Amino acid sequence: MAKFAERRLEEDYPYVVLDARYEKVREDGVIRSQAVLVAIGINREGRRCVLAVGLANRESAASWREFLVALRQRGLSGVELVVSDDHEGLKKAIREILPEAAWQRCYVHFLRNALDHLPRKANDDCLVELRWLYDRHDIEQARQDLAVWLKKWQGKYAKLCDWVEANIEETFTFYRLPAEHHKHLKSTNMLERINEELKRPTLVVRIFPNAASCLRLVRALAAEMHEEWVEGTRYLNMDLWEEHKRELMRRRAQAA
């Protein structure tokens, strides 16, 4: 497990997805929740890789910063997009340690957060129509439909509309990618499905006797998953990403 956790990252990972989940650990006779920090990368061959699994007392800017610094020290490079939720500490760490990368705010978490700005008995069509904005072909179409959505619901749900208008652009970053990559990189669902797999055996344990035992089991499961991915078929066609970037550069040159 130490070899897996400390291995050098010798290749670029254009896409990185970050998320955390919690496990119960007994420390000094007291049961506490420990944050399991997970990083998934997609390399230039389009294969998914488990980059790191760590444990922290809580999800904070300091714990995420330490986690990302360790990834950098192991050789993490070539990151062009980071996908995560809106956790303030995580966002701060990403800006500091991976400033070259664009940030995609998970749209699924965004829609959940939207509930905080709606009355309890709100019209379900409001959020259903907001969800549709993430299935558009490009950013221009999404923004046009957003304007229509805001006009339709502003009178009834002004608080929600003001919040959406102020924050939704953070969830549209994935539109910079090839259309074929959109469904995979507009949310952290890829990593959350992994967390579900990790949770099955940890539910059997329920409460770990110490932090080391928790980290050892989670890393062992993650290492098995990593090997399956590396030896399996490609998850994404990254040639599309390179073609997409060349096309964007060509358009910018023409515009200039």
Reported confidence tier of residue 236, pLDDT bands at 50, 70, 90: very high
Domains of the chain, by residue range, sit at: 2-106+188-255, 110-167
Q: Tell me the one-letter amino acid at 138.
A: D
Mean pLDDT across the chain: 93
SS3 content of the chain, % helix, strand, coil (to 5): 55, 20, 25
Q: Tell me the one-letter amino acid at 54.
A: G
Given a contact cutoff of 8 angstroms between Cβ atoms, the answer to whether 15 and 192 are in contact is no
Q: How do residues 167-224 score in pLDDT, each as one tens digit?
A: 999 999 999 999 999 999 999 998 877 778 777 777 778 899 999 998 998 999 999 9
Per-residue pLDDT, averaged over 106-134, amounts to 92
Give the range among 28-37, 153-162, 245-254 with minimum mean pLDDT: 245-254
Q: How do residues 19-49 score in pLDDT, each as one tens digit?
A: 998 889 998 888 999 999 999 999 999 999 9
Query: 0.75 cut: is pTM over it?
Result: yes
Which residue is it, tokens 């229509």?
A: 148
pLDDT at position 107 is 97
Give strand ranges (E) for 43-171: 48-56, 81-84, 102-105
CATH fourth-level superfamily of 2-106+188-255: Ribonuclease H-like superfamily/Ribonuclease H (3.30.420.10)
pLDDT at position 142 is 97
In the predicted structure, residue 166 carries a pLDDT above the cut 80: yes
Q: How do residues 63-83 score in pLDDT, each as one tens digit?
A: 999 999 999 999 999 999 999
